[in-house]
Amino acid sequence: MEYKDYYKIMGLSRDASPEEIKRAYRKLARKYHPDVSKEPDAETKFKELGEAYEVLKDPKKRAAYDQVGRGWQEGQSFTPPPDWGFDFGAEQGFTGTGGGFSDFFEALFGRGFGAGRGGVYGRQAHMQGSDQHARIQIDLEDAYRGADSLISLNVPQTDSQGHLVSSVRTLNVKIPKGIKAGQRIRLAGQGMPGVGGGRSGDLYLEIEFKPHRYFRAEGRDIHLELPVTPWEAALGATVPVPTLGGTVELKVPAGSQAGKQLRLKSRGLPGTPAGDQYVTLKIVTPSARTDEAKALYEQMAKVMPMNPRAAMGV
């Protein structure tokens, strides 16, 4: 296993006072708390920090760590001394971190208390594993049809060297038809394992949609910007529109302007009620590449003069 430099993790020198340790923990915990932090590896950093604080805040554990750890560097291969033994005494569980501690920690201080959050449950020998939370990105099409989706989760775990790493856990999760962004799926018993016969925690997956080339979801409604030609907008036309369920025909009324919004009822994500699809027209003009095309535009300017900026007073 690899040696873990708890002082380095907390950004402290080896002679840091208990007050400095507490202050550093509070500051870094706010920075890396998974509910608040926007750092990509916040969850892993937060767990590492919790482990470091667990040791350094306790004078007995800190003294033991200092004694065994003299001369080691972060990441070096580490074996505890053969006569090593740490007396827990009446120790009442650990506080505050979301998941298991590293092998390094467990080799020094024993295992069995790391799997749950502190507080109410930290004081019981049978401890339920903590819940895990993750965001997953799915395709809009999968939300429309429902799907069995292979989902790779980065789960903070300890590797064979005792390092806390983001390891990949693959789950085959049923994505129900009509799920919306922001909704959560609860997978009972798929969280952190329990301790001493305690039940496993639950896994919560929060749904996000992958950005789509042209659809944008708002709740169950789907928004789409549809390019049309000037003559389709001016004269009216029936044009094909992509929807999640396939292509449908949309009647563009004569005299439509750019930005006009048309609704395709119940063509959004399924549900009760199903969402609608909103189509916003975007007028695309053909470029005047030939003399003939140029003449046509000039003729339009003569026959249909207009000032589109009149409302701006220019």
Partner 1 sequence: MKNEIIVISGIVLDESMRFTLVELCEFAKTSPEQVIEMVEEGVLEPEGSSVYTWRFDTYALKRLQIALRLQQDLDINLPGSALILDLLEEMERLRR
Per CB under 8 A, does 187 bind partner 1?
yes
Of the two residues 36 and 288, which places its CB atom closer to partner 1 in the complex? Answer: 36
Residues 77-136 that bind partner 1 (CB under 8 A): 95-98, 117-121, 128, 131, 133
Q: By CB under 8 A, is residue 163 in contact with partner 1?
A: no
Exactly one of 33, 57, 145, 212 binds partner 1 (CB under 8 A); that residue is: 33
Residue from 74, 76, 137, 168 touching partner 1 (CB under 8 A): that is 168
Among 1, 29, 164, 281, binds partner 1 (CB under 8 A): 29
- Tell me the number of residues near partner 1 by CB under 8 A: 49
Burial 177-198 (b: 16+ CB within 10 A, else e): ebbbbeeeeeeeebbbbbbeeb
19 near partner 1 (CB under 8 A): no
Stretch that binds partner 1, among 102-110, 162-170, 254-262, 293-301 (CB under 8 A): 162-170
Instruction: Kindly list the residues in this chain that would bind partner 1 in the complex (CB under 8 A).
Output: 26, 29-30, 33-36, 46, 50, 95-98, 117-121, 128, 131, 133, 148, 150, 157, 159-160, 167-174, 176, 179-180, 183-188, 190, 201-205
